[in-house]
Amino acid sequence: MTLHAIIGGSGLTQLEGLRIEAELSMETPHGTPSAPILRGELRGRAVLFLARHGHPHRIPPHQINYRANLWALKQAGAEAIIAVNAVGGIAQAMPAGHFCVPQQIIDYTYGRGHTFFEGELERVTHIDFSEPYDTGLRAALITALRSEGVAFSDHGVYGCTQGPRLETAAEVLRLERDGCDLVGMTGMPEAALARELELPYACLALVVNPAAGKATGLITMADIERVLEQGMGTVRSVLARVLAG
């Protein structure tokens, strides 16, 4: 059985139904992870869980120590990673409440610790990242979403911005011209670091708001939180289905 790790984002700082067996407070050569890694069982399946923004939710996207998080998960024995991300919807097919299992990424972030391959190296390494997400894990998420009977897209391009502010309407238009369907702040460098550690990785994205300029009115945290709360039940069920295999 593959030991899956779940990286929970906004709205998923804890995993309801997780029977916790151990809290692993880890240090890594890259610093301290966002929170202790929880090891336990979800509906009878062993799983690791890490709250990306800490628990309680306190670390903004640009200050997350993605390297420490990924390193610690690998050290804890993770063999595959499912990332849960709240995102804004750019494409018409991505309204609030919609789920997506993206298949591509465009990275607009800067200044984040984005690689393990720096410092004193024996040789220069360029990982292949043509397909940033793992095919098998994506398929498992898609099957689980289908079984849940919820509205979802089985592909999409995730544009990762720096945050913590939301985008301008013009920035969202540019993302759209670039081919992005979704916009979030935490998809990168997480996915690339997982690839550097040779950990299969896929993303379960929940659209929590129309991206800037895609609806009238302001984007409010209250609206986002309402959609998050509604969607998290489905997220938990999807995760349990994937773990059950």
Among positions 72, 185, 239, 242, the unique one binding ligand HPA when judged by CB under 6 A? 185
Q: Is the separation of the CB atoms in 240 and 43 below 8 Å?
A: yes
Among positions 208, 227, 232, 239, the unique one binding ligand HPA when judged by CB under 6 A? 208
Q: Would you list the DSSP string of 157-179? A: EEEE---SSPPPHHHHHHHHHHT
Secondary structure of 212-231 in the HEC alphabet? CCCCCCCCCHHHHHHHHHHH
**Judged by CB under 6 A, does residue 188 bind ligand HPA?**
no
Segment near ligand HPA (CB under 6 A), from 131-139, 178-186, 188-196, 225-233? 178-186
**Judged by CB under 6 A, does residue 86 bind ligand HPA?**
yes
Task: Find all residues with CB under 8 Å of 208, minimum gap 6, and list them.
Answer: 10, 11, 86, 87, 88, 96, 223, 224, 227, 228, 231
Residue whose CB is less far from ligand HPA, 183 or 197: 183
Burial class (CB in 10 A: 0-12, 13-18, 19+), 212: buried
**Judged by CB under 6 A, does residue 209 bind ligand HPA?**
yes
CB of 205 to ligand HPA, least distance (A): 9
Residue whose CB is less far from ligand HPA, 39 or 214: 214
CA dist., res. 214 & res. 21, Å (int): 44
CB of 8 to ligand HPA, least distance (A): 14
**Judged by CB under 6 A, does residue 184 bind ligand HPA?**
yes
CB of 29 to ligand HPA, least distance (A): 30
Residues that bind ligand HPA (CB under 6 A): 86-88, 161, 166-167, 183-185, 208-209, 211
